[in-house]
Amino acid sequence: MKKLLAIIVLSLCLITPSQADDIKDFEIEGISIGDSLLDYTNKSYINDNSSKWYNDEYHQLILKDDYQTYQDVVVSFKPKDKKYIIESISGAIHYGKNIEKCYKKQNELDKLFSAMFGVKNRRVDILPDNGTKNTSKQIVFELNDGSATIDCLDWDQIVKPNFRDKILVSLDSSKFQEWLYKNTK
């Protein structure tokens, strides 16, 4: 009996943990890619409050709660999926008209994400304003089955006076990334 117990304990010690590059291993306010939206709200709320993303393939929904870190949490899912599996989740913190605070938080999160994901799959994108005077600085970490993005949105207060500068931290499945890439070109 002692030998059997020793073999079980030894075999468990030899199992190596998986790499922390599976998008489903990460959470925003306790919510992960691959979770059912029904674990966080009901069908009635989903049907009454979700909106389309470009076409009818994906919908997005703002989840209402008293979150610890983020002011807004938005999820994307396929409305025809009866389980409402979450394919994308984003958390936002608003900074009013103070983009410098956003960049400071982005730098803090970049260090944290770089430690978790490594820097080999990291890239920085500055998205052009396309004449709107709104800019976005994104730090993207490509993972095996999706991506993690830290995005500072600098809204021009003349063009969009009611919009607030904000940081958007997003987790996207590879399936959602592919769809988004095809539909936002």
- Round to whole Å and give the CA distance between 78 and 176: 10
- Round to whole Å and give the CA distance between 80 and 66: 28
pLDDT at 131: 56
pLDDT at 157: 53
pLDDT at 97: 84
Q: Is residue 7 part of a domain?
A: no
pLDDT at 176: 93
Q: Is residue 135 part of a domain?
A: yes
One-letter-per-residue 3-state SS of the chain? CHHHHHHHHHHHHCCCCCCCCCHHHCCECCECCCCEHHHCCCHHHHHHHCEEECECCEEEEEECCCCCCCCEEEEEECCCCCCCEEEEEEEEEECCCCHHHHHHHHHHHHHHHHHHHCCCCEEEEEECCCCCCCEEEEEEEEECCEEEEEEEEECCCCCCCCCCCEEEEEEEEHHHHHHHHHHCC
Q: Is residue 1 part of a domain?
A: no
pTM: 0.80
Nearest CA-CA partner of 75 in 94, 91, 54: 91
pLDDT tens for the 185 residues of the chain, in order: 433 333 333 232 222 233 455 788 899 999 999 999 999 999 999 999 999 876 788 999 999 888 999 999 999 999 999 999 999 999 999 998 888 999 999 999 999 999 988 878 898 988 765 555 567 789 999 988 999 999 998 876 545 556 778 999 999 999 998 988 887 66
Q: Is residue 46 part of a domain?
A: yes
Q: Which residues of 151-161 are buried (b: 16+ CB within 10 A; e: fewer)?
A: bbbbbeeeeee
Provide the domain limits for residue 34. Answer: 23-183
Q: Is residue 17 part of a domain?
A: no
Number of domains in the chain: 1
Q: Is residue 18 part of a domain?
A: no
pLDDT at 21: 57
